[in-house]
Amino acid sequence: MIVVGLAASPMVSASSADDAMSQLNAIMADDAKRQASYEAGHERIRFCGYCHGEDGNSKREYIPNLAAQHPLYLFNQFEKFRDGTR
């Protein structure tokens, strides 16, 4: 996974990108965590997919496409939804 330029984004700080990458690596290194994350993500697709489309490509021009977003940016945003900061 390439992270070049991610920390330069105004939405994602370098430490935030490092934290997200550490969390993502921990999930990917553990088969049980990876499977649980996949299942949880698949469950949430139904909720997010109502607006953003099941594949992340919104059919409405006023709703952003998620498919084109960097995976670490999305990971950070999902974590913010989880902990209530977003």
Q: Is residue 16 part of a domain?
A: no
- The predicted pLDDT at position 63 comes to 93
Q: What is the Cα–Cα distance from 60 to 52, expressed in whole angstroms?
A: 8
Q: Is residue 37 part of a domain?
A: yes
Rg (CA), the chain: 14
Q: Is residue 77 part of a domain?
A: yes
Tokens of 26: 């921990």
- The predicted pLDDT at position 41 comes to 78
Cα maximum dimension of the chain: 38
Contact 16, 8 (CB under 8 A): no
Q: What is the pLDDT along the chain (86 residues), one digit of tens a residue?
A: 333 334 444 455 667 778 878 888 899 899 999 999 888 877 777 888 889 998 889 999 999 999 888 888 888 888 888 899 98
Q: Is residue 68 part of a domain?
A: yes
Q: Is residue 4 part of a domain?
A: no
Range(s) of the domain holding residue 31: 27-83
Domain count, the chain: 1
Q: Is residue 72 part of a domain?
A: yes
pTM of the model: 0.50
Q: What is the Cα–Cα distance from 75 to 27, expressed in whole angstroms?
A: 12
